[in-house]
Structure 1
């Protein structure tokens, strides 16, 4: 992949060792190769944002900017097929684009993952020229959800009837509820084609839902037979969410994305190696799983960015010291740094769980079907848990910045609303957690996971291994409750059984996520040498675990896993860890490796944030001509590279 910046040199010995090691914990052992391109890209001028108190761009201007940036990004790639075919590149792209421009992350994710990725994954009976899509002469989009079908997308009602005389398909929207309800389908940004999820009908028989490649618009309008209407503005998003419908639109046989799920051959006969319409649909839209990894990555990147800004702002926002004492940074107060320390432990957990899910899914894709179900389940659990946690972290970070955090130019408001989209995109969190809950509950009922028996009870809360067993026990307790409630349902109505079990089962999924995050912490600790970096990570890991244990301490006490004295001491233990983490918040935030150029675009991230609000014509302004006006000229710090060296963009 061609880089926009000079290649980083070899790691400089002992340069910022704690920060560098923690960066590798967050971004992986090969952080420069995996993340360096995207990190450098977002630091370059096309991705910078204006500073100062002037009104920001309109939604239309923001969308146009996102499309211009997408073209800059695409031109910087050796091949646009790279993000579509490399799960790690795709995830890293979202990690870095989302904090800079959530709209860009949305249109890039749709084009590279859902659109190009699906085209590359599926067979075609006819050669398919992708050059226009690779060069972005035509942008790709993805039309699955309908007005009446979201999480039940397997029930979409748009049809694609095979016409053997013309050897192609007729796409049709039968009623208002079957209109596609998806973003990025208008002519904004240039001509577009879409992959349309439609119900294949062959000789009057419903064969299930498949994807069809359909040209949607030219540069200015929808093509004949296609209607595209803008939906009302969506909270926080400038992306063109639209209603799209089809009135007997014909596409040739090669437009169908075929494979093991089925195809129509040269003999014009439909054949499939996959039994069942639902399974065929899941094979067709398998790129949605990668999309969930991307949503986790977007949430992780956005949470890290807002937390870093809040930590920095707390260090240079001064408040009265009281009784004639000099002013002090607001971060010295427990009420301020406590929530940020807790958020830091969560953000590290989010990052580690994201990488754990990505690693397992990538291995399962190579291994084949045997491991795929468990890996996809972890992706689902991680996506829901990470995006929900990101919302909490982002809102907390914004609040710690007061009124400044509400101003668009300080970068947080887009991320507050952007994470709401991630919570719903690629499968609503509650829906995918419900599916995971059913699978995990079946494991619990069939005894697939047994309670460990070789552990001291109760143990030492300072022992990481004991903390891990408590987190595992919390998960077991919730699924045991769910199983017990299911067993008490007198009849076999699946809905009634699920309604009886769903409350505790969903709590079990949450506990499952906490356990996996804690295990990822433990693995990262094992890989670090003794020293300050390991100490910092260990403090975060214990804080993360103890906060969850405290929330479930009553259950653990009743189960005999904790003593009354241990439950009573949990508050002090958490407070001690907050006190240990708080002095290192700046160092921990530096491990996020956010480029100085990126931070410079958010005024409150800099110590001279008030310069962004200065008025050069006001009476108080007596600064010398050498002092620049506005933040854009005052805060251009270098940030450490992944090996300890500094990185600056060319030109």
Structure 2
């Protein structure tokens, strides 16, 4: 049901922007439906479950008690939480991969530790068995993993090799005589580290190790390895480990380290979808190329990055809902009216801090829904091709770093925007910020992931030139150089300046056009990629060492190009989402939010646009002034835009966003008003004669 009558645009304001009737407002119910994305019922059901206090984090709880509480909650989820959706029907699932992640992303409302522990159990441990194993593995290992009868460990990362999985040191050597694999940790740096469930609760692990048989190393494969006696919870013979100890956040999860001293497991404990060993020790694989086999195996685990992207969006939404709600109630410093103080969200700088982050959060949310749809298309089998899998992996590698960094920034700014109240644990902002911190480095270090995206952009650029002969390639390169030279001369900037003279509205009007924003964002990505490709051309004829050194010299530019690409993806997703908003006034307000996001990106990279001649100095000034106008325009709708996220107090659980601050302010205002009316107010010293 709509909460606002649909109203068309009726006029134009003094900046040349469309203006709506004075009573226009966000249709919160409609916008909430749009924001729920592809799985509205599943998300709402998960939120209802997370409103149950049985799942809520108890702030300040000692680590051992927090860990046990989260384990109990995990078992409650297994019984009540519909957590098996992505698994086959014969194991109680529905083959619904996107729906599984949509529900997972909502768990952060209760406690991010519960969210991540469930991700370890079902998103990593059980999913590795499912995606990397065959039917024999499924029958043997999935029932215990899904029911949490077997709390599991996903043992990939090593102390000495985090994101570089291909270089891990743990070995799994096949013994033909006993038909067993021998799992071994050859040196200290090969200890498995930072593993959820490893310190206390885990009784089995999916261990990633180098498969060696008949003297040949066939690269990294996954093995199911029991690690603890289920009755005593003591390590099994040959298995050792230790607690990682107190962490910066997520202390409801028992992270720890594991090592193996020639631990023997049956040959059939190899998760053998992509590689197997016969009883005689012969290695077999449906994929001949070791490199392609490795990346195919890791590609099946991309859901971790997809889910973290969505979880980061939820965290940013929570933080902004708390901060903007508080900012709409907290009063500070005198206004022009006698005895009245100003609501802090009315201050321009407060709007500058929070509203661009709100716009970026909307963009991140819409981009995540597109990522979730791509993920479900691939894993459902509807569009499962090598190309679509590569596209999915690239998209996840672009968005996960962008959204997790954004969430960290948003939570920190939200905390500061709430002053001392934001620092109190009861208001959750510091706890959410601490729990989110590790999101930037697990399931792939953000910088490393962006490097992968940059390499894909370079590969795509190279493919675009492959069909050209040497003469045409030279012509393209020359045209690109001429284009760069043209933009870096004063001519283009002068043309912009002349066209804008005497009419700032014309400059602002062009900047708010969808085509102008797209051109500026696309041009930055394309130019950066082409410049890097040109700089790296000598590596084609260089030695391996020289080529590596040249690539390293341009690594920063490559990462920045990948970030620009991710920002463009978010902007495009936001722009496409506007078409799904059917209420005209809501769509107009959301278009302003999109414009704020796009122009904030341009302002963020204004130096690049100026140095590369894409904007004149005059038009660059217009970017900032138009952002200021957008902030003022969006200020009246800020509360509606966060209310549309659909969170109740049971999800926020922050007293400063509960209405308590408004009650305090109203009480204070009433007190001073009564004092003035009665004539009892003391006379300020400066007015006393």
TM class by shorter-chain length?
0.7 to 0.9
Does the alignment pair 1:604 with 2:664? no
Residues 133-158 of structure 1, C-alpha deviation per residue, up to 9 Å, x if partnerless?
Answer: 22211112200011111111111111
8 Å Cα contact 1:482-1:505 kept in structure 2: yes
Does the alignment pair 1:216 with 2:216? no
2:328 alignment partner, SS class: helix
Does the alignment pair 1:471 with 2:521? yes
Q: Distance in 2 between matches of 1:152 and 1:249?
A: 24
The residue that corresponds to 1:183 in the other structure is: 195
**562, 567, 580: which one pairs with 2:620?**
567
Does the alignment pair 1:400 with 2:437? no
Q: CA deviation at 1:587?
A: 0.4
Q: Which stretch shifts more, 387-396 or 120-129?
A: 120-129
Residues 563-602 of structure 1, C-alpha deviation per residue, up to 9 Å, x if partnerless?
Answer: 4432221111110111111211110001111133222x22
Q: CA deviation at 1:306?
A: 0.8
Does the alignment pair 1:514 with 2:570? no
Q: CA deviation at 1:292?
A: 0.4
Q: Distance in 2 between matches of 1:349 and 1:112?
A: 28
Q: Distance in 1 between matches of 2:49 and 2:527?
A: 47
Distance of aligned partners of 1:516 and 1:247 in 2 relative to their CA distance in 1, 3 Å threshold = same
Q: Distance in 2 between matches of 1:82 and 1:364?
A: 13
The residue that corresponds to 1:243 in the other structure is: 257
The residue that corresponds to 2:303 in the other structure is: 290
Q: Distance in 2 between matches of 1:77 and 1:482?
A: 48
8 Å Cα contact 1:356-1:520 kept in structure 2: yes
**101, 110, 130: which one pairs with 2:120?**
110
Q: TM-score by structure 1 length?
A: 0.85
Q: Distance in 1 between matches of 2:651 and 2:116?
A: 19
Q: Distance in 2 between matches of 1:431 and 1:327?
A: 48
Distance of aligned partners of 1:483 and 1:284 in 2 relative to their CA distance in 1, 3 Å threshold = closer
Q: CA deviation at 1:547?
A: 1.1
Q: TM-score by structure 2 length?
A: 0.81
Q: Distance in 1 between matches of 2:3 and 2:419?
A: 40
1:345-364 correspondence to structure 2 within 5 Å: 345-364=359-378
Distance of aligned partners of 1:514 and 1:253 in 2 relative to their CA distance in 1, 3 Å threshold = same
Residues 34-79 of structure 1, C-alpha deviation per residue, up to 9 Å, x if partnerless?
Answer: 31221111111212355xxxx7211222222211111111111456
Q: CA deviation at 1:469?
A: 1.3
Q: CA deviation at 1:255?
A: 0.8
The residue that corresponds to 1:309 in the other structure is: 322
The residue that corresponds to 1:647 in the other structure is: none
**356, 361, 371: which one pairs with 1:342?**
356
Q: Distance in 1 between matches of 2:60 and 2:118?
A: 22
- RMSD of the alignment, in Å? 2.7
Q: CA deviation at 1:329?
A: 1.9
Residues 231-253 of structure 1, C-alpha deviation per residue, up to 9 Å, x if partnerless?
Answer: 24221231222110111111112
Distance of aligned partners of 1:574 and 1:312 in 2 relative to their CA distance in 1, 3 Å threshold = same
The residue that corresponds to 2:71 in the other structure is: 67
**Larger fraction in helix:** 2
Q: Which stretch shifts more, 84-93 or 394-403?
A: 84-93
Q: Which stretch shifts more, 474-483 or 194-203?
A: 474-483
Unaligned runs of 5+ in 1: 1-10, 613-651
The residue that corresponds to 1:383 in the other structure is: 400
Residues 589-632 of structure 1, C-alpha deviation per residue, up to 9 Å, x if partnerless?
Answer: 01111133222x221111215999xxxxxxxxxxxxxxxxxxxx
8 Å Cα contact 1:144-1:182 kept in structure 2: no
**146, 166, 172: which one pairs with 1:160?**
172
Residues 505-525 of structure 1, C-alpha deviation per residue, up to 9 Å, x if partnerless?
Answer: 211111101111111111111
The residue that corresponds to 1:7 in the other structure is: none
Distance of aligned partners of 1:81 and 1:251 in 2 relative to their CA distance in 1, 3 Å threshold = farther
**47, 50, 56: which one pairs with 2:55?**
47
Does the alignment pair 1:100 with 2:110? yes
**198, 201, 204: which one pairs with 2:212?**
201
The residue that corresponds to 1:623 in the other structure is: none
Does the alignment pair 1:233 with 2:259? no
The residue that corresponds to 2:581 in the other structure is: 528
Q: Distance in 2 between matches of 1:558 and 1:244?
A: 51
Q: CA deviation at 1:488?
A: 6.0
Does the alignment pair 1:38 with 2:49? no
Distance of aligned partners of 1:111 and 1:483 in 2 relative to their CA distance in 1, 3 Å threshold = same
Q: CA deviation at 1:12?
A: 7.5
Q: Distance in 1 between matches of 2:296 and 2:462?
A: 28
Does the alignment pair 1:137 with 2:149? yes
1:397-436 correspondence to structure 2 within 5 Å: 397-436=414-453
Give the paired residue count. 592
Distance of aligned partners of 1:12 and 1:538 in 2 relative to their CA distance in 1, 3 Å threshold = closer
